[in-house]
Amino acid sequence: MTFLILLLTEPIKPVTMSTQENTIAPAAIEPGQNGKPLHLHCYVAGRKINTENKLSVNSPYDRRLIGTVTLAGIKETNEAVEAALKGGKTLNRYERYSVLDKTRQLLIKRKEEIASLISAESGLAIREARYETGRAHDVLMFAAMECLKDDGQVFSCDISPSGKSRKIITLREPLKLAVAITPFNHPLNQVVHKIAPAIASGTPVILKPSEKTPLTAIRLVEFLYEAGLPPYMLSVLLGPTSEVAEQLVKDNRIDLVSFTGSVAVGKHIASTAGYKKVILELGGNDPLIILEDASMDLAVTLAAEGSFRNSGQRCTAVKRILVQESIREVFTKRFVEKAKEYTCGDPADPATVVGTVIDEPAAIYLEEVTKKAVAQGATILLGGRRKGALLEPTVITDVPRNAQMIVEESFGPLAPILGFKDIDDAIALSNATAFGLSSGVVTNNMEHAIRFVKELKVGTVNINEVPGYRVENSPFGGIKDSGLGIKEGVIEAIKCFSFIKTFSIPW
Ligand code: NAD
């Protein structure tokens, strides 16, 4: 307790818990001008909200104040819905393209500032934050491109004995209003993955970003306004859950709730949303399955990248490393050596590979599940030490199949290794959790690869890649507790944020 109080009152000295010395200077750019905290507002259809309620955002690394946000309440939530439904200038396809493309250009121009903001408010290493801006760039580019395409179809009706001389044609129309609720783990990319497809569809959207990382999300909204988006098309609200998020979810004037976050909140939304479309992108517990015929170099690299990138806080991070028994010893030895390269420390330092997790309670949870696994017979081979929200990348072996960190989602830089006997065992072990998001299989045998593609109960199987591999416009999403099987990714999300109208004419 004393330690916790100290952490809350006294900034942690910027120590690096790495085995290597950091020699590169910290990133020069800080949030706000001259490193001062940013003071941002929620927006109702382009109008800055002014209320007494403020949210403080502190660095997960050293607790310094990164910024504040003026919060919304039930009144502003209602105003945002009304402003969106009242409408305004309708953008044609070219105009939607232009808004998204200008936002992309703004992002390129202000990339370092945005990357610094992501890193400061989330504790992600600056190199990860820069990578994330690149992903967001691609999302905006693909969404802009989709504005210029029409996926309408034509059905000739004279194609059966009972046919007629007519044609049926499909049109894609915008929804009245959508709500996007996003998690903390990619403060920019999670948000842009919902907002850009909504705009490409011409659908007004109210964004409710994570209270843990709101500053980047609000900056993106400001970019979109600056790029010429009509204000009624976008509001951004943060505030008490019962007054903002829950009101929006159950409001029957809203056509769609697109949610990315935890299973518990996702299932709660499913039970309260009522008669509207619901898209749920929930948690994961993804395996990397390494067969005895795999290239060892590749297996070791994928296991490390998949487990530790983004501080292990990706829905598709490798959460279970499943290795065939015949190569387990060799793999484990090589993997521990590789994992030593993933040094953790000050997120602003360009040499830091792994930053903090989102907050101290999250790090404590990870520490506790590790201790529980050890009590069940597992062994920590590397890492495991924690300071505040900074948790060393941790390699654990001999983890029992029923350990909490294996059965549930462990959202952080933990790399538990489990052995399997043969392919049947690997498939059974992989499918044994409640989740079904993604997976990676490392093998040089095409027959084996195909078996995994067919038999894993997941949304994605990546052969010789990490489970998280994707391009931003390919279909993405999970099944079982990871989601309802409705895909996101720019193209699929545009389908969700619109509906198809058909018309038919004599022909
Ligand atoms: P979370 O569920 O705690 O919060 C997500 C969002 O829901 C936040 O904006 C939060 O304010 C909001 N929220 C909280 N209570 C709510 C309620 N009662 N009604 C409506 N909204 C509510 O998730 P998190 O901790 O921010 O994110 C981590 C989780 O997200 C992990 O489980 C991770 O696997 C998952 N995730 C999934 C994907 C995917 O694509 N499948 C991607 C990224 C993250």
281 is catalytic: yes
Task: Tokens 């309260």: give the residue.
Answer: 272
Rounded to a whole number of angstroms, the distance between the first and last alpha carbons of the chain is 78
**Is this structure's pTM higher than 0.85?**
yes
Which residues surround ligand 1 with Cβ inside 6 Å? 181-185, 190, 208-211, 241, 245-246, 249, 260-262, 265, 268-269, 281-284, 315, 409, 411, 437, 478, 482-483
157 is catalytic: no
pLDDT > 70? residue 269: yes
Q: How far is the CA of 263 from the centre of ligand 1 (A)?
A: 8
Task: Convert the pLDDT of each residue in 54-73 to its tens digit.
Answer: 999 999 999 999 999 999 99
Please list the residues that pair with 55 across neighbouring strands.
69
Task: Convert the pLDDT of each residue in 160-212 to its tens digit.
Answer: 999 999 999 999 999 999 999 999 999 999 999 999 999 999 999 999 999 99
The confidence band for 35, taking pLDDT boundaries of 50, 70 and 90, is confident
Q: Are strands 65-70 and 38-41 parallel, antiparallel or unpaired?
A: parallel
- Determine the atom of ligand 1 nearest the C-alpha atom of 261: 30
- 389, 365 contact by CB (below 8 A): no
The confidence band for 30, taking pLDDT boundaries of 50, 70 and 90, is low
pLDDT > 60? residue 8: no
pLDDT for the residue numbered 28:
42
Q: Give the angle subtended at the CA of 317 by the CAs of 312 and 318, to the nearest 5°.
A: 105
CA distances from 126 to 122, 132, 245 (A): 10, 10, 30
- Determine the atom of ligand 1 nearest the C-alpha atom of 476: 40
CA 204 to chain centre: 22
Residue 379's CB: how many other CB atoms inside 10 A?
12
CA distance 59 to 26: 15
- 3-state class (DSSP) for residue 234: strand
Tokens for 238? 């943060």
- 3-state class (DSSP) for residue 116: helix
Q: How far is the CA of 110 from the centre of ligand 1 (A)?
A: 27
| Long-range CB contact pairs, 191-195, < 8 A, 24+ | 191/216, 191/217, 191/220, 192/136, 192/139, 192/140, 192/220, 193/139, 193/260, 193/472, 193/488, 193/489, 193/490, 193/493, 194/258, 194/260, 194/488, 194/493, 195/220, 195/221, 195/224, 195/234
Q: Give the angle subtended at the CA of 432 by the CAs of 492 and 435, to the nearest 5°.
A: 30
- 3-state class (DSSP) for residue 316: coil
The confidence band for 5, taking pLDDT boundaries of 50, 70 and 90, is very low
Tokens for 503? 């018309």
Q: How far is the CA of 266 from the centre of ligand 1 (A)?
A: 7
- 410, 351 contact by CB (below 8 A): no
Residue 277's CB: how many other CB atoms inside 10 A?
16
Q: Where are the beta strands (DSSP E) in 62-136?
A: 65-70
The confidence band for 34, taking pLDDT boundaries of 50, 70 and 90, is confident
pLDDT > 50? residue 82: yes
Using alpha carbons, select from 263, 207, 265 the residue that is nearest to residue 234. Answer: 207
pLDDT for the residue numbered 57:
98
pLDDT for the residue numbered 71:
98
pLDDT for the residue numbered 6:
34
pLDDT for the residue numbered 18:
39
Mean pLDDT, rounded, for 392-417: 97
pLDDT > 90? residue 33: no
pLDDT for the residue numbered 9:
34
What value does the mean pLDDT of the chain take?
A: 94
